[in-house]
C-alpha cells in the first residue's frame, strides 16, 4: 500500500438523535426520516446537508408562488416556520442507533422514537417516510406499537431526498412528494 495515499475510514459509532420533533396542533402530515445525518445533528435540525434536496422539494410543493417571502430559507428557524406554516411535522423513526457516517445501510441496533404523543394530539392524517430504510424501520419498529395503541394513520414511503439518491431527479422528487402531500393538506 502506498503510504502517501490518505485513507478516510469511517467507523460505526453509536449516535443519539439529539433534537426533538417539529409539530403543532395544525400539523397534518408527519415526515419521518431514518436518522439525522452528521450535518443535521451538528445543526440540530432536519435535512441540513447542503446537497440534500428535501427543502427545495418542500418549497416546490408548498410555497405560494405569489408570495416571494414564502420560502424555507437556510436556517433551522426559517425551515421550522416554513414546515409549520404548511402543516408539516418533522421527526425521525430512530431515537438512537449504531451508524457509519450518514449511511442508512449501516444502521444497526435502532431504537425507535415514540410517535404516540404527536399522533394522539395533532390532526396527522398521513405519515410519509423519506427513503427505503426509514420505511423499513417504521414498519418493523413503529407500526406494531401504533396498532397496539389503536392508532391507525396510513404511511406512504417516499424516495430519499439525499444526494446519495442521484438516480432520482429533482423534478421527479417534486412530482412524487406533491402527489403524496396534496390530498392531506387543508
The tens-digit pLDDT sequence of the chain (186 residues) is 444 444 455 688 898 888 999 999 999 999 999 998 888 989 999 999 999 999 999 999 998 888 888 999 999 999 999 999 999 999 999 999 998 878 888 889 999 999 999 999 999 999 999 999 999 999 999 999 999 999 999 999 999 999 888 889 999 999 999 999 988 766
Whole-angstrom Cα distance, residue 115 to residue 21?
9
- CATH number given to 12-184: 3.40.470.10
Domain ranges across the chain: 12-184
113's grid cell: 422514537
- Res 186: pLDDT: 64
Q: Which residues contact 110 (CB under 8 A, 6 or more apart)?
A: 35, 93, 94, 96, 97, 137, 141
Amino acid at each position: 500500500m502506498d503510504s502517501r495515499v490518505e485513507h478516510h475510514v469511517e467507523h460505526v459509532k453509536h449516535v443519539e438523535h439529539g433534537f426533538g420533533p417539529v409539530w403543532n396542533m395544525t400539523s397534518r402530515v408527519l415526515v419521518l426520516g431514518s436518522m439525522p445525518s452528521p450535518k443535521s445533528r451538528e445543526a440540530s435540525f432536519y435535512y441540513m446537508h447542503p446537497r440534500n434536496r428535501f427543502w427545495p422539494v418542500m418549497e416546490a410543493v408548498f410555497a405560494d408562488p405569489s408570495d416571494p417571502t414564502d420560502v424555507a430559507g437556510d436556517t433551522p428557524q426559517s425551515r421550522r416556520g416554513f414546515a409549520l406554516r404548511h402543516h408539516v411535522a418533522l421527526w425521525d423513526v430512530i431515537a438512537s442507533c449504531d451508524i457509519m457516517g450518514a449511511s442508512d445501510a449501516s444502521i444497526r441496533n435502532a431504537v425507535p422514537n415514540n410517535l404516540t404523543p404527536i399522533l394522539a394530539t395533532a390532526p396527522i392524517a398521513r405519515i410519509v417516510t423519506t427513503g427505503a430504510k426509514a420505511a423499513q424501520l417504521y414498519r418493523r419498529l413503529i407500526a406494531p406499537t401504533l396498532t397496539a395503541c389503536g392508532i391507525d394513520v396510513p404511511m406512504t414511503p417516499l424516495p430519499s431526498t439525499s444526494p446519495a439518491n442521484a438516480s432520482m431527479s429533482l423534478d421527479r422528487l417534486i412530482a412524487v412528494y406533491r402527489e403524496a402531500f396534496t390530498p392531506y393538506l387543508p
